[in-house]
Amino acid sequence: MIENPPVHINKWLLPFSWLYGFVVSIRNKFFDWGIFKQEEFDVPVICIGNITVGGTGKTPHTEYLVHLLKKQYRIGVLSRGYKRKTSGFLLATDTTTSKEIGDEPFQIKQKFPDIIVAVDEKRRRGIKQLLSLQCPPEVILLDDAFQHRYVKPSYTIVLSDYNRPVYEDKLLPAGRLRESTKALRKRADMVIVTKCPNEIQPIDFRIISHHMNLFPYQGLFFTTFGYQGLRSVFTDEEAILPLESLSGKHILLVTGIASPKTIQEKLSEYTKTVETIAYPDHHDFSTKDINHITEAFRNIKSDNKLILITEKDASRLILFKDQIDEDVKQCLYYLPIEVVFIDNDQEKFNRNILKHLRAATKIWLR
């Protein structure tokens, strides 16, 4: 059995959490009673969301769904485009930047240029815009929209970070929960526990399943991240450097994600010399940050060194290609990740999704 550190709770903020929880519960009741109207659409809409603030791995899991479905369906990914510098509906093109649509939609469009990617802070409007296209999507993946209840998805997947169990957490601001864990039983078709350690044991599955207390018809899956090797951020090299090539290297890890813990643990398997510069999640990099990273890299007293960033951060740092010195560019790599299902549950997950889409398509084609 693997034991996580206790979840940190700001107990002095609990009275504010109770007030926040009351407001959220009233809002949800208004949707349940039909006072706030939900809208369904004549196309399958799969929501990928969570009930916590902070990263749970929504983008890699969305990319997994794109991989699974893109050969059979015309896919549309709709996000609000967190921290973008634009507003309203915007359809991504080959020339769209991360500042225009946000780093996560930008990353998805870069990896899957043939699918439809759009952003809109109003999801109903965004879906309607997508369906008005000349070649509209046949399936819409709705990113981070579990709390956006004005749209009624045909299927809802909720992600939960293994390292911060939702059943041990508290509502904002004392904890990180956006809403009560009761929402999982009421509105989730599937829950995925993400970022699991490779050495997770069967007893851990049973403990988590017991605490989640889901209905039998709700799927519970466990995933971890697989790392594909290093890719250069700025050069045109398509070759992937294996992780084994990190042995003996001095790594400067730069992150702008919710928690660098998972990637730090992975790197420690290959090298003992890792320095970390950790910025907040979705950090908007500046010229000052670039200078700081460059100075920290050059201060490393080793000739066998490189800068490693996450794939999400690469979508933001690439905007500074004209401000980064060539010698630094040559040493700047990102680490792509992929979702790996634990306990050989990948086929079961795939069947559940494809079964839903076949059933939903038959209903709407009647």
Please tell me which residue, 41 or 319, carries the higher pLDDT value.
41
11 pLDDT above the threshold of 60: yes
Q: What is the mean pLDDT of the chain?
A: 92
- Phi first, then psi, for residue 144 (nearest 5°) are 55, 60
Cβ atoms 187, 219 nearer than 8 A: no
Q: Give the tens place of pLDDT for each residue, 55-100.
A: 899 999 999 999 999 999 999 999 999 889 999 999 999 999 999 9
Residue that is written with structure tokens 């928690």 in the block: 259
What residue ranges define each of the domains in the chain, with the CATH number in brackets?
Answer: 11-15+36-73+138-226+340-365 (3.40.50), 229-335 (3.40.50)
365 pLDDT above the threshold of 70: no
E strand or H helix at 234? none
Neighbours of 307 (CB within 10 A): 24
Q: Give the tens place of pLDDT for each residue, 119-150.
A: 999 999 999 999 999 999 999 999 999 999 99
Instruction: Name the least confident of 31-35, 40-44, 293-297, 318-322.
Output: 318-322
Cβ atoms 177, 51 nearer than 8 A: yes
Residues β-bridged to residue 275: 252
- Phi first, then psi, for residue 308 (nearest 5°) are -120, 130
Q: Which residues contact 285 (CB under 8 A, 6 or more apart)?
A: 256, 279, 313, 316, 317, 319, 320
DSSP code, position 13: G
- Comparing CA positions, the residue from 167, 146, 162, 137 lying closest to residue 66 is 137
Please tell me which residue, 248 or 157, carries the higher pLDDT value.
157
Q: Which amino acid is at 188?
A: A
E strand or H helix at 277? strand 273-278
Whole-angstrom distance, CA of residue 31 vs CA of residue 124: 15
Cβ atoms 46, 153 nearer than 8 A: yes
Helices 346-365 and 58-69 pack at an angle, to 10 degrees, of: 70
- Phi first, then psi, for residue 252 (nearest 5°) are -105, 105
What pTM value is reported for the model?
A: 0.92
Whole-angstrom distance, CA of residue 214 vs CA of residue 191: 9
Neighbours of 205 (CB within 10 A): 16
Q: Give the tens place of pLDDT for each residue, 156-180.
A: 999 999 999 999 999 999 999 999 9
Q: Which amino acid is at 93?
A: T
366 pLDDT above the threshold of 50: no
